[in-house]
Amino acid sequence: MTLQTLSVTLALPEIFIASMACLILLVGLYANQERAARTCYRLAVGTLLVAAALVIAGFSGESSLAFNGLFVDDPLSDLLKFGICLLSAAVFVYGRQYNAHRDLFRSEYYVLGLFSVCGMMVMASANHLLSLYLGLELMSLCLYAMIAFYREDKLAVESSMKYFVLGALASSILLYGMSLLYGLAGSLELPAIRQALGELDHANPALLLSVVLIVTAVGFKLGAVPFHMWVPDVYQGAPTSTTAFIGAAPKIAAFALVFRLLSGGLQDMHDSWQQMLIILALLSVLAGNVIAIAQDNLKRMLAYSTISHMGFFLFGILAGNEAGYSAALFYVLVYATMSCAAFGLVLFLSDKGFESDLLEDLKGLDRNSPRIALLFLVLMLSMAGIPPMAGFFAKLAVIRSLVEQDLVWVAVIAVLLAVVGAYYYLRVIKLVFFDPPATERSVSAPPANWVVLAANIGILIVILPWIGTLIALCEQVIRGVG
């Protein structure tokens, strides 16, 4: 690992996004609203694509530290940033028509989105508790504002307030846990904390309290049961374009948060946090899948689906080894891609004055829009984990990591709950293909939306022959950390 005290080059994607966000804000101030919105939308999407290109151009395959150890550039951070940029750009494209129909098509929306992406990327490269926390708060504060952006919708404002209050509570718990950790380790740098904990008594009450507080805060941020109460309300209440944003790229940033904290700083406390994560993961998959079955609101169903998927993600993390972390990484990348496409489809079906957020709105969709119905079929099969779709191999990788760690009983329960969870995805397919249409209406969207959506779902099919290679790549990326 090389150390560069101050390197603008390593943080160039983040600096570029932050600079462009400021520029877009100025454009919005000095141009008329409609023209400014179109310009800012194009600038925002272009900014994310250029940032993704900068990430690729700066890839070296080595770990380098910058800004006095606050920032690390390694293969993992590059992969996460690349995914964050591409998925965020896709969500902006999906939401363009939806926002225009609801007075959300304003420059401030894209400024908030870009600053949120910047926070996610800072989290991906965090090597220090301070930078990790600042990245988390930058992302979260922007999301609170994006949820409440549609001020005419009381439900959106209410869900934003719930998210803000619970998010602030989680942040304070995390900060308290970090302060205890700093007091015990004498450092805020994650590698130094890991080294210091190796010399401490792992039964130290203050250390155990710190681990409990950090895992609790992580549970809140992930929306894991029993800290999930904000997820369904936020997913349902937020404008669908914002829900799509929350459901995609932040999940990749969540992997960075969990991995940097638990593997980077608290790996020696694995036996302690593993037991807590087993409980969180099992409860999340159980409650998420069972409650999702009872939902009649599509966005709320996808919210409980998210809770379930976060449980599977935690199964990989709790394995606590290279295979587990790489399985969790592969899982979160596949899930974020599927979630982005799922909300993209919901945005396709929504029209001016019409929110396509009820399951009954999907009835007979194959007769009104066969192409959308086919995309729903592919996506629901993948999210359900039906072979040979990408979602199946993601779940398989996680379950295999559990078996390798002799957590066979957890793996068996995970498989059974995955079967239960397949029901509500298959119900969507049944509504789309076998029920008579609730209404006769056509689905129209700009050509760019069709191209991005086809590419989004196409990725889940194209990668199938190279699943083994992609999982090996994730293992190599995890191996290259530090």
CA distance 465 to 197: 42
Q: What is the DSSP string of 224-257?
A: -TTS-THHHHHHHHS-HHHHHHHHSHHHHHHHHH
CA distance 470 to 473: 5
CA distance 453 to 360: 22
CA distance 361 to 373: 12
Write b or e for each residue in 407-439: b if 16 or more Cβ atoms lie within 10 A of its Cβ, otherwise e. Answer: beebbebbeebbeebbebbebbbebbbeeeeee
pLDDT of residue 90: 94
**Structure tokens that stand for 130 in this block:** 């301070």
* Type of residue at 401: S
CA distance 416 to 420: 7
pLDDT of residue 169: 94
Look at residue 368 and give its three-state secondary structure.
helix
**Structure tokens that stand for 18 in this block:** 């932050």
Question: Roughly how many angstroms between the first and final C-alpha of the chain, as a whole number?
Answer: 7
71-73: strand order across its sheet: 2-4, 64-66, 71-73
CA distance 78 to 84: 10
Phi-psi region at 231: left, alpha or beta (left = phi > 0; alpha = psi -120 to 50)? alpha
CA distance 471 to 461: 15
Residue 177 and residue 210 in contact, taking contact as beta carbons nearer than 8 Å: yes
Q: Is the dihedral of CA 407, 412, 417, 419 positive or negative?
A: positive
Q: How many residues comprise the chain? A: 482
Best CA proximity match to 160, nearest among 253, 230, 244 = 230
pLDDT of residue 22: 93
Q: From first to last of the 482 residues of the chain, give the pLDDT tens digit.
A: 555 545 788 889 999 999 999 999 888 777 666 677 888 899 999 999 999 999 998 888 788 888 888 899 989 999 999 999 999 999 999 988 888 887 777 888 899 999 999 999 999 999 999 999 999 999 999 999 999 888 777 888 888 999 999 999 999 999 999 999 999 988 899 989 988 988 888 888 999 999 999 999 999 999 999 998 999 999 998 989 999 999 999 999 999 999 999 988 888 888 889 999 999 999 999 999 999 999 999 999 999 999 999 999 999 999 888 999 999 999 999 999 999 999 998 888 887 666 777 888 888 888 888 888 898 899 999 999 888 888 999 999 999 999 999 999 999 999 999 999 999 999 999 998 888 876 766 667 778 888 888 888 888 887 888 888 888 899 999 987 75
**Structure tokens that stand for 395 in this block:** 């779940």
∠342-347-353 over CA atoms, to 5°?
150
**Residue indicated by tokens 């890839």:** 59
Best CA proximity match to 197, nearest among 55, 208, 328, 160 = 208
